[in-house]
Amino acid sequence: MKIEMQKLKASFYIKADKENNDGLAMIYCKTEINDTTCTFSTGLMAEPEKWKKLKQYRLSRNEHEIKIRNEINELHVNMEKAVKSA
C-alpha cells in the first residue's frame, strides 16, 4: 500500500489594475495541491501600494492591515488542515 502525502502551496496576491472606487484591490489566493491549481478571491481588500511596500502586510503596524494579515494566515492554516485530513 502506497500512501502519498499531499503537498499544499498557497500564494496571495492582488490585482492592482482592478481597484475599486476606494482605491482597494481584492486579495486572491492561488493554491496548488500536488499538480492541481485553484485560484479564488479571499473576500479581503488591500491598498495595492501598501501591499507591495509592506510585503503583503507582513511588516504592517496598522491595526486594519494586521487584521487582514491574520485572516490570511488563518485561511492558510485551515487549508493545510484540510489537506492533511483528506
> What does the pLDDT look like over 9-37, one tens digit per residue?
999 999 878 899 999 999 999 999 888 99
pTM score, two decimals? 0.82
Quick one: cell of 84? 492533511
Beta bridge partners of residue 11, listed in sequence order: 30
Confidence of residue 3 (pLDDT cuts 50, 70, 90): low
> What does the pLDDT look like over 24-74, one tens digit per residue?
999 999 999 888 999 999 999 998 888 887 787 777 788 888 899 899 999
